Structure 1
Amino acid sequence: MPKLFGAALLALALAAATPTSATAAAPVPADAPTTAAFATATQSDQIPGRYIVTLKDAAVQSDTTATVNAAVAQATSMGATVRHVYRHALHGYSAAMSKSAAAALADDPRVQSVQPERRVRALAQTVPTGVDRVEADLSPTAAIDGKDTRVDVDVAVIDTGVDMNHPDLNVYKAGAKNCWFPWLPVLDMHGHGSHVAGTIGALDNNTGVVGVAPGARIWPVQVLNPLGLGTTADVVCGIDYVTQHADQIDVVNMSLGGSGSDDGKCGTVNNDAMHRAICASVAAGVTYVVAAANSHADAKNTTPAAYDEVITVSALADFDGKSGGLGKASCRADRDDTFADFSNYGADVDLIAPGVCIRSTYRNGGYAVLSGTSMASPHVAGGAALYKATHPGASPAAVKAALVAAGGTDWLWPSEDGDNTKEPLLRLRGF
């Protein structure tokens, strides 16, 4: 059996979150101290009885350490419990104290301000450029609005595993399977599978990112090791497991591949064990979405991409979530809105989807930006999930036909594509 090259990644970087807009402070609560030095905050985000005291710069110019220490001692003598002392970015301290003590400190001529402590939280979720580009944010089934409405579909991720406890994923833990090391629980020590899972179904929960089919139940099927490598035997184990649960699993994503070619239609030759397994699984009603691979070569020489029964996906370079080619390259050099310079191509490719600088969930509860056809494929898997949510009885062939028929051609041509075919770009606003 040939070794798989799965999880071949072309870029990895942490993405900066998009800051939320500031909200105006609410009127000072009626029971708050009235001194002008007392900063206001909304009642909802205040932490009762806790304050930050900032000293005036002029008050600490002569002896910073002694002045700050004296201020802390003063607060302690007034019954305050000091939690932090600030000596570098500013001069002052934070403390738990009564309202009357806070008011008294605010009137001290050495004090610049006394403000209530407020709660902070992770910034609101971003809509990744890929989700925007394929118009999943306009899908009535995805219903992306930050309210954590979940798409009622089951998607298996045959990969390096998935972070079982990621707060932005709906992982179906009872459905986890480790084919790489059967005696261990599923554990994504690489990050690739967790990233794929987030593009498919990250929760629409105002945290982190959102996936194409938010909240889809993710079945982690681990077939690749912590280096992103595996064998066809392990992959067949994963396909076998999915087929065992074909009455529950609707869609499979396989962002992996190895050398090989299509050995014929299902039911004819099929001396390839992986192809036979996929044939049986598709016959059982499971839709398979696979990556075209990253060799900038014809996908006919890569499996499972070469199989006719799967949906094979190439990668689009898109940096701004919009057509037109105006986006500025970010995590790697490429031309916006064109065929990614690494992506495989050819007659076996069915759809193209964003696969460059895609932000998604990652191992250890984190987020990361990755590039590859591995990142394009889960956009389509999420699209297949949306279609299955509203067409639960649809066959894999019907799902494929619907996605291809809805695809658009609004990406720049000619580009780095190695053939003369402009693949339809995944478009989900009508799903």
Structure 2
Amino acid sequence: MCTARTEQPSHARPKGLAPLQHAKRTKKKSRIAVASAAAFVLIGGTAVGAGALESADTPGPGGSGVGEIRGADAPGTIDGEYIVVMKKTGEEAADSARLKSRTSVRELAGSLLDDADARGAAVQRTYATALKGFTVTADRDEARRLAADPAVAYVEQNRVERGNGTQNDPTWGLDRVDQRDLPLSDSYSYDSEAANVNAYIVDSGIRITHEEFGSRAKYGVDFVDDDAKADDCHGHGTHVAGTVGGATYGVAKSAKLVAVRVLDCENRGTTADVIAGYDWVAKNAVKPAVANVSIGGAATDAKDAAVTGMVEAGVTVAVSAGNSNTDSCQQSPARAPAVLTVAATSDTDARWASSNYGKCVDLFAPGHQVVSAGRASDTASATMTGTSMAAPHVTGAAALYLGAHPTASPSTVTKAMLDASSKSKVTSPGADSPNRLLYSRF
């Protein structure tokens, strides 16, 4: 194992500070405000409770009836921003000529907003691959009218998202995943380096000049600043990337790493930007491909649909289960069946105390005091704890499998990983959790 070099970023949130309740936003670039436009949260992962759905009897553009805004009163919502999800092909109402006649999502959005434009409504982002829809800034009445349109499946209020990592003191590494039992062997063995695999890190960006990555890391897209430089000003994404594919800290040591930035310098983002990241990966991923999503929040249909769209596009996706010591089925995208949902263990094979659990978990992986690449310099290391740190172990292992089986589908990769996992090793895994610990030697 490598000696840990610790990093204490100046922006680190003091221990004990409550997780995100809101996000700072500016009129300029911060997607946490204007450009994110739209989302919702299904509290508890089921239908939204009383007060969380809003309806109106006013007809929507091109339709009539009651329109609902999902998650309108949920914690962390962003005023005036909504995610509009269109019906899938074949699900449209018969009288929705608008949906049939428009070829692009932006054209369709513009048609839907004909009446709203005069009142200041504006389309911010469009989604065409992971799901079909768009984000919009609008007043609440117009959002209700959009929700009533027969071409629209549902409208969600935008909200704040956050990474699932916690800054901590040192120390342990990769040692556990290549062996069936404790004690640790102080070595990590692997049969492939996954040089043919592209790993998309949907996170806070990557310090691509870090020595851990050589020339294998590159910028993909930045939905926070709306530019091409997806640099990491927090450290979460660089740490995650290091565990996926770092030369020293990585599971898949030669994988190509692509930064998809959806979180800001405080490790915060919006549902709209996270979905934009999923949509970008679904459209642009070069196969064989994996994606890591160490981001979580309350359950929403839009996030679940978009992350499922990534998988349907041929990308194997691992996501963090969450750090609330509660049922992972209450969070998205952790509850989405198509992804690999990862809970965290300590170096004693016990479930990390704050790790989420439950039947939506697919695998456990090391997540407590994980050493990986830091963002402070090109040689820095950092130690972090959380299910954010567990998920990239699984992403890296999926890359190893694809390195040897490059045409394997996401479902084939998932089955191989679940079949290979070490059974009944995790102590106190939590109610309804499958007792499966990641094993990287397929």
Q: Normalization by structure 2: what TM-score?
A: 0.59
Deviation of residue 360 (structure 1)?
0.4
User: Mind listing any 5+ residue stretches in structure 1 that lack a counterpart?
Assistant: 16-125, 143-149, 204-208, 262-271, 319-335
Instruction: Identify which of 321, 326, 329 aligns with 1:300.
Output: 329
The one-letter code matched in structure 1 to 2:290 is V
Partner of 1:317: 346
Deviation of residue 356 (structure 1)?
0.2
Partner of 2:151: none
Query: Where do 1:237-252 residues align within 5 Å?
Result: 237-248=276-287, 250-252=289-291
Query: Where do 1:104-115 residues align within 5 Å?
Result: none
Counterpart contact for 2:244–2:395, Cα < 8 Å? yes
Q: 2:339 and 2:251 mapped to 1: Cα distance?
A: 19
Counterpart contact for 1:133–1:354, Cα < 8 Å? no
Q: Deviations over 1:270-313 (max 9, x none)?
A: xx332222232211211110000000000111000000010000
Q: Please state whether the residue corresponding to 2:163 is helix, strand or coil.
A: coil
Query: Where do 1:114-129 residues align within 5 Å?
Result: 128-129=174-175
Partner of 1:93: none
Instruction: Identify which of 190, 214, 236 aligns with 1:139.
Output: 190
Query: Where do 1:223-302 residues align within 5 Å?
Result: 223-248=262-287, 250-260=289-299, 272-302=301-331
The one-letter code matched in structure 1 to 2:341 is T
Q: 2:389 and 2:440 mapped to 1: Cα distance?
A: 17
Distance 1:412 1:232, change over 3 A: closer
The one-letter code matched in structure 2 to 1:253 is N
Question: Which structure would you say has the larger Rg?
Answer: 1
Counterpart contact for 1:388–1:399, Cα < 8 Å? yes
Q: Please state whether the residue corresponding to 2:231 is helix, strand or coil.
A: coil
The one-letter code matched in structure 1 to 2:367 is G
Q: 2:322 and 2:430 mapped to 1: Cα distance?
A: 13
Q: Please state whether the residue corresponding to 1:313 is helix, strand or coil.
A: strand
What percent of counterpart residues are identical?
35
Q: Deviations over 1:224-272 (max 9, x none)?
A: 00000001111111111111223346100000011015xxxxxxxxxx3
Q: Please state whether the residue corresponding to 1:285 is helix, strand or coil.
A: coil
Q: Deviations over 1:161-199 (max 9, x none)?
A: 000201111565555210111136211010000000011
Counterpart contact for 1:129–1:358, Cα < 8 Å? no
The one-letter code matched in structure 2 to 1:214 is K
Partner of 2:372: 360
Counterpart contact for 1:130–1:355, Cα < 8 Å? no
Partner of 1:347: 359
Distance 1:243 1:408, change over 3 A: same
Q: 1:139 and 1:183 mapped to 2: Cα distance?
A: 37
Instruction: Identify which of 396, 402, 426 aligns with 2:438.
Output: 426
Partner of 1:385: 399
Counterpart contact for 2:292–2:392, Cα < 8 Å? yes
Q: Are residue 178 (structure 1) and residue 222 (structure 2) matched?
A: yes
Q: Are residue 164 (structure 1) and residue 208 (structure 2) matched?
A: yes
Q: Please state whether the residue corresponding to 2:273 is helix, strand or coil.
A: helix
Q: Deviations over 1:384-430 (max 9, x none)?
A: 000111111111111111000000125243x2x33043421001123
Q: Normalization by structure 1: what TM-score?
A: 0.61
Distance 1:249 1:176, change over 3 A: farther
Q: Deviations over 1:105-130 (max 9, x none)?
A: xxxxxxxxxxxxxxxxxxxxx96445
Deviation of residue 4 (structure 1)?
4.1
Q: Deviations over 1:72-111 (max 9, x none)?
A: xxxxxxxxxxxxxxxxxxxxxxxxxxxxxxxxxxxxxxxx
The one-letter code matched in structure 2 to 1:311 is L
Counterpart contact for 1:6–1:228, Cα < 8 Å? yes
Instruction: Identify which of 189, 211, 214 aligns with 2:233.
Output: 189
Partner of 1:396: 410
Q: Are residue 405 (structure 1) and residue 419 (structure 2) matched?
A: yes
The one-letter code matched in structure 2 to 1:382 is G
Q: Deviations over 1:331-384 (max 9, x none)?
A: xxxxx2201100001111000000001000011321011100000000000010
Counterpart contact for 2:318–2:339, Cα < 8 Å? yes
The one-letter code matched in structure 2 to 1:343 is S
Distance 1:400 1:171, change over 3 A: farther
Q: Deviations over 1:19-76 (max 9, x none)?
A: xxxxxxxxxxxxxxxxxxxxxxxxxxxxxxxxxxxxxxxxxxxxxxxxxxxxxxxxxx
Query: Where do 1:368-379 residues align within 5 Å?
Result: 368-379=382-393
Deviation of residue 133 (structure 1)?
5.6
Instruction: Identify which of 210, 217, 220 aligns with 2:259.
Output: 220
Q: Please state whether the residue corresponding to 1:137 is helix, strand or coil.
A: coil
Counterpart contact for 1:186–1:221, Cα < 8 Å? yes
Q: Please state whether the residue corresponding to 2:257 is helix, strand or coil.
A: strand
Q: 1:257 and 1:275 mapped to 2: Cα distance?
A: 11
Distance 1:346 1:220, change over 3 A: same
Query: Where do 1:316-335 residues align within 5 Å?
Result: 316-318=345-347
Counterpart contact for 1:14–1:367, Cα < 8 Å? no
Q: Deviations over 1:309-336 (max 9, x none)?
A: 1000000111xxxxxxxxxxxxxxxxx2
Q: 1:275 and 1:238 mapped to 2: Cα distance?
A: 13
Deviation of residue 13 (structure 1)?
2.9
Q: 2:161 and 2:430 mapped to 1: Cα distance?
A: 21
Q: 1:141 and 1:8 mapped to 2: Cα distance?
A: 28
Partner of 2:166: 10
